[in-house]
Structure 1
Amino acid sequence: METWFYVVESIDGDYANLRRTDIDSADLKLVARALLPEGIAEGTKLKYELMQYSVIE
């Protein structure tokens, strides 16, 4: 299984724009907030592993 790292760039209603931080990319990924951990905000760092997002420090 692969692991990807993201940062929340912006939140727009029920969706969040995530940018990968483990590779050099300016592309954003639009993700439904229902799939993300509660309490995220702009700048929150996330790990995606085993089809789940979790907050990292």
Structure 2
Amino acid sequence: MGPWYYEVVSFDGDYVNLRRTDIESDELNPVALALLPPEIEVGSKVKCEYFQYEVIG
């Protein structure tokens, strides 16, 4: 499944709002903070494959 590419847009409590960058979309995808690597910050580029998230930029 995937890969899908995202950019971290904002933090919202225990969730992080991600925006897809591999397709044209303004929709935000909320993801539980616990599923993401601890080094993420706003503006980080993230790859999701088989529901595993990896910082790529």
For the superposition of Structure 1 and Structure 2, which TM-score range results when normalised by the shorter chain? over 0.9
Secondary structure at the residue paired with 1:30? strand
What one-letter code is carried by the residue in structure 1 that aligns with 2:22? D
Q: Percent identity?
A: 58
Q: Report the Cα distance in structure 2 between the residues aligned to 1:53 and 1:11, rounded to whole angstroms.
A: 16
* Structure 1: runs of 5+ lacking an equivalent: none
Q: Report the Cα distance in structure 2 between the residues aligned to 1:11 and 1:2, rounded to whole angstroms.
A: 23
* Structure 2: runs of 5+ lacking an equivalent: none
Q: Report the Cα distance in structure 2 between the residues aligned to 1:23 and 1:40, rounded to whole angstroms.
A: 21
Match of residue 28 from structure 1 = 28
1:54 equivalent to 2:24? Answer no
TM-score for the superposition, normalised by structure 1: 0.92
TM-score for the superposition, normalised by structure 2: 0.92
What one-letter code is carried by the residue in structure 1 that aligns with 2:49? E
Q: Report the Cα distance in structure 1 between the residues aligned to 2:53 and 2:12, rounded to whole angstroms.
A: 18
User: What is the total number of aligned residue pairs between the two structures?
Assistant: 57
What one-letter code is carried by the residue in structure 2 that aligns with 1:30? P
Moved over 2 A (4+): none
